[in-house]
């Protein structure tokens, strides 16, 4: 199965599961099983081994990194569905549509298809968000992120940048600027990240997770490859901008997540960690990218529980998962942030100081929640959800004790 077929499977499977579960009932179970099947289908598309038939195995394949991300994200989304208090079935349709576009984003080698797929992902996500919670905050997702995806499409017209380009011409810098605008918009970095911050307070866990587990990590792992295809000034424009925007966003997210009574504190903290991943890409160092991948794994494990509102009976596992994202050793977030700090220290003080500040603020926000708790829980949870939450705690502990094993398990040995 190639990537085009996989995208079709995501789209048709998600739509069918959503509509069937709305008609026949069992929305939570049908949705979770369908998304888990999509995770399995993603693993079938990995490029591995030899002896493939050229007649049936044509077309682009997923890299190990991209396929691992898709499978892990689908598994995390299935857990989100199982842990949710209420499921209306249409979440799975949204997951399928966004996932199909994300499959194209991570598998294509065409800059134009990359931009078009990003636009389709944004439009599917924003239509789902607007249908779920109509309002200015969710409309902003389509407005701002749509412009970001459009800038990726525009950049494709200028690619590849001619090697004979006159140095005074602005072509390479323009392409770098368009690409970085698209990436920082879709990853929701400062100054264009307000669309996610505004929406997370209004949406339910699965809808937020569709961006946090699928779109943002997909953009980040593909953004890490972009600088190699740009000439000097374009590469500089891309890396410097994403580094600065990532660090500023992480600091801003840290400050916001420290505010008392802020809605969706975890959503802001996760956005801060994704911003650190973007900054890691900006450093251009492999060790930082590995740290970023570990942060993505951390939130794939902790997110399905922490994106849900607090519930009675889940206080202890939630506290353990807050510890996992706190950055205190030996939490997985600690190793991820440490690797990014190390890369920033290699660049110099102007990069290291904001990185230390960002990591400190994010750690403080999480530690305060671990120390104080999250207040009164909601309705008592069912035992199955408690078991799932404890299972995720075990995974988080394992990822903290064996961070490289966790990264390699999800993204492959080359990560």
Partner 1 sequence: MNDPLLDSLAFVGALVAVFVDQRRAVLFACVAVAVCLAPTAAALGGGWAALLLAVAAAATGLAGELAGRLRSWVTPRLGTGPRMPVAAAADSLFGPRSLRAVAALVALPAASWISFNASVGAVAGVQGLLFPPTFTFLCGAIRLLLARNVRDLAVGVAVVALAVAVGWFLRGGSAPLPVAAGVAVLAPVAAVVAEWLGGRDRPDRVPEGAG
Site string for partner 1, 138-157 (x = CB under 8 A): xxx-xxx-xx--xx-xx-xx
Min dist. Cβ of residue 47 to partner 1 (A): 24
Does residue number 37 form part of the binding site for partner 1 (CB under 8 A)? no
Site for partner 1 in 158-217 (CB under 8 A): 158, 160, 162, 164-165, 169-171, 174
Nearer to partner 1 by Cβ, of 134 and 329: the residue is 134
- ω into residue 191 within 30 of 0, thus cis? yes
Quote the tokens at residue 215: 């779109």
User: In 3D, which of 130, 25, 164 has the Cα closest to residue 88?
Assistant: 25
Nearer to partner 1 by Cβ, of 92 and 344: the residue is 92
Q: Three-state secondary structure along 156-182?
A: HHHCCCCCCCCCCCCHHHHHHHHHHHH
Nearer to partner 1 by Cβ, of 29 and 170: the residue is 170
Min dist. Cβ of residue 134 to partner 1 (A): 4
Min dist. Cβ of residue 119 to partner 1 (A): 7
For tokens 């294509």, name the residue.
108
Does residue number 12 form part of the binding site for partner 1 (CB under 8 A)? no
The residues facing 218 across adjacent strands are none
Does residue number 95 form part of the binding site for partner 1 (CB under 8 A)? no
Nearer to partner 1 by Cβ, of 157 and 353: the residue is 157
Min dist. Cβ of residue 150 to partner 1 (A): 5
What span, in angstroms and rounded, lies between the C-alpha atoms of 359 and 44?
37
**φ/ψ (deg, to 5) at 312:** -65, 135
**Helices 403-411 and 332-347 meet at what angle, rounded to 10?**
90
What span, in angstroms and rounded, lies between the C-alpha atoms of 225 and 114?
13
How many residues of this chain bind partner 1 (CB under 8 A)? 34
Nearer to partner 1 by Cβ, of 68 and 234: the residue is 234
Nearer to partner 1 by Cβ, of 131 and 382: the residue is 131
Does residue number 8 form part of the binding site for partner 1 (CB under 8 A)? no
What span, in angstroms and rounded, lies between the C-alpha atoms of 409 and 415?
10
What span, in angstroms and rounded, lies between the C-alpha atoms of 67 and 197?
28
What residues make contact with partner 1 under the rule CB under 8 A?
Answer: 112, 116, 119, 123, 126-127, 130-131, 134-136, 138-140, 142-144, 146-147, 150-151, 153-154, 156-158, 160, 162, 164-165, 169-171, 174
């Amino acid at each position: 199965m190639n990537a085009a077929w996989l995208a079709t499977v995501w789209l048709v499977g998600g739509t069918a599961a959503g509509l069937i579960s709305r008609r026949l009932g069992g929305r939570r179970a049908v949705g979770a099983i369908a998304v888990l099947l999509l995770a399995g289908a993603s693993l079938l598309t990995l490029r591995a081994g030899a002896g493939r038939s050229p007649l049936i195995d044509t077309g682009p394949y997923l890299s190990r990194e991209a396929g691992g991300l898709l499978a892990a994200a689908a598994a995390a989304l299935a857990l989100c569905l199982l842990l949710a208090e209420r499921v209306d079935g249409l979440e799975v349709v949204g997951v399928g549509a966004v996932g199909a576009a994300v499959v194209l984003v991570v598998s294509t080698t065409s800059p134009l298809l990359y931009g078009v797929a990003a636009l389709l992902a944004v439009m599917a996500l924003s239509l789902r968000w607007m249908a779920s919670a109509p309002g200015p905050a969710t409309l902003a997702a389509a407005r701002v992120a749509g412009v970001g995806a459009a800038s990726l499409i525009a950049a494709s017209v200028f690619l590849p940048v001619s090697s004979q380009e006159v140095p005074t011409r602005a072509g390479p810098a323009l392409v770098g600027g368009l690409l970085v605008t698209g990436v920082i918009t879709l990853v929701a970095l400062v100054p264009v990240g307000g669309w996610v911050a505004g929406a997370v307070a209004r949406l339910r866990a699965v809808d937020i997770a569709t961006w946090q587990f699928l779109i943002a990590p997909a953009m980040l792992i593909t953004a890490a490859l972009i600088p190699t295809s740009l000439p000097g000034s374009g590469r500089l424009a891309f890396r410097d901008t994403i580094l600065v925007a990532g660090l500023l966003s992480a600091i801003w997210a840290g400050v916001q997540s420290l505010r008392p009574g802020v809605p969706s504190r975890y959503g802001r903290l996760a956005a801060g960690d994704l911003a650190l991943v973007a900054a890691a890409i900006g450093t251009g160092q492999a060790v930082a990218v590995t740290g970023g991948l570990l942060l993505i794994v951390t939130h794939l494990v902790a997110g399905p529980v922490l994106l849900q509102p607090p519930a009675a009976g889940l206080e202890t596992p939630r506290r353990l998962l807050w510890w996992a994202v706190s950055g205190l050793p030996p939490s997985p977030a600690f190793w991820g942030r440490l690797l990014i700090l190390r890369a920033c220290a290699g660049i110099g003080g102007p990069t290291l100081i904001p990185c230390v500040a960002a990591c400190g603020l994010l750690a403080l926000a999480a530690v305060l929640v671990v120390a104080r708790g999250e207040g009164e829980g909601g309705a008592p949870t069912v035992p199955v959800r408690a078991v799932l939450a404890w299972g995720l705690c075990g995974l988080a502990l394992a990822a903290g004790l064996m961070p490289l094993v966790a990264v390699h398990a999800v993204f492959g040995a080359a990560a």
